[in-house]
């Protein structure tokens, strides 16, 4: 299905120094910048809760966003997409966002998430589903951009793979990711004999017996 289009209220930032940025974050707002070809960057801020509600993490790079701020004319409310999101390394909260302006009449390249569809007979037989790619790069008009692309896995047996060339694309969408790349693979089940039960216990036994002997010898030598 086509990507969702949402509207987010924003505020223009008058100050862009570190102190002002920290103050915004303590107020529950995310500092952001809007970039675009032929336009000056605009420093803005977005309410963190409003952003999380309007644009879930799974749709960060496949959602069209209309930015709305007080006093802006209709023509000055740009349609944007997220270019980059930065997280805090400790609590993973969003600390900054880069938006890029898009024209609804010009094609764009963007990443779209992949979603497995169906039941794999190989998995039913004990195989392990390994999703190698979680997204692909596509080219299309913004309004044709899908929010995800389904990967049919109902024909995959053990040892089989689904490649990019196997995708059924929505109208107006072309693939940029190389067609031979593997998206999903059904690996064989692990065999019990490969685990070699008992090996860890043997290693532990050797360590338990040898280490006290070595320590004892050293102590004896010191006593001499």
Residues 148 and 124 occupy one common structural domain: yes
Residues 84 and 129 occupy one common structural domain: no
Average pLDDT over residues 27-45: 91
Query: Of 78, 101, 124, which closes a domain?
Result: 101
Answer positive or negative: Cα dihedral of 211, 214, 216, 218: negative
Residue 22 is assigned to a structural domain of this protein: yes
Residue 81 is assigned to a structural domain of this protein: yes
Residue 194 is assigned to a structural domain of this protein: no
pLDDT digits (tens, 9 = 90+) for 90-131: 888 899 999 999 998 999 999 999 999 999 999 999 999 999
Domain span at residue 78? 5-101
Is residue 138 pLDDT above 50, yes or no? Answer: yes
Residue 75 is assigned to a structural domain of this protein: yes
Q: What is the CATH number of the domain that holds 87?
A: 2.40.240.10
* Burial of 224: CB neighbours in 10 Å, binned 0-12, 13-18, 19+: exposed
Query: Of 83, 101, 119, which closes a domain?
Result: 101
Kind of pairing between the strands at 29-36 and 39-47: antiparallel
Q: What is the pLDDT of residue 15?
A: 87
Residues 166 and 217 occupy one common structural domain: no
Q: What is the CATH number of the domain that holds 160?
A: 2.170.120.20
Domain count of the fold of the chain? 3
Alpha helices in the chain (DSSP H): 18-26, 48-54, 121-124, 199-223
Separation between Cα atoms, residue 111 and residue 138, nearest integer Å: 6
pLDDT digits (tens, 9 = 90+) for 196-216: 555 454 444 444 444 444 444
Residues 88 and 12 occupy one common structural domain: yes
Provide the token pair at 12. Answer: 């223009």
Residues 171 and 206 occupy one common structural domain: no
Residues 30 and 95 occupy one common structural domain: yes
Residues 77 and 130 occupy one common structural domain: no
């Amino acid at each position: 299905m086509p990507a969702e289009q949402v509207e987010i209220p924003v505020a223009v930032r008058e100050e862009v120094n570190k102190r002002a940025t920290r103050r915004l974050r303590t107020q529950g707002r995310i500092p952001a910048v809007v970039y675009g070809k032929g336009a000056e960057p605009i420093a803005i801020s977005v309410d963190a809760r409003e952003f999380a509600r309007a644009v879930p993490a799974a749709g960060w790079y496949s959602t069209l966003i209309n930015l709305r701020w007080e006093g802006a004319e209709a023509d000055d409310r740009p349609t944007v997409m997220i270019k980059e999101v930065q997280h805090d390394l400790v609590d993973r909260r969003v600390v900054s966002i880069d938006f890029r302006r898009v024209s609804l009449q010009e094609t764009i390249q963007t990443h779209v998430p992949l979603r497995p569809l169906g039941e794999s007979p190989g998995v039913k037989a004990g195989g392990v589903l390994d999703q190698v790619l979680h997204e692909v790069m596509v080219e299309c008009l913004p309004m044709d951009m899908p929010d995800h692309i389904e990967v049919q896995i109902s024909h995959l047996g053990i040892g089989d793979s689904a490649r990019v060339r196997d995708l059924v694309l929505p109208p107006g969408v072309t693939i940029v990711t190389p067609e031979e790349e593997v998206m999903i693979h059904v690996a064989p089940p692990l065999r019990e004999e490969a685990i070699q039960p008992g090996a860890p216990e043997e290693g532990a036994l050797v360590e338990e017996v040898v280490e006290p002997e070595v320590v004892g010898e050293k102590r004896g030598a010191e006593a001499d």
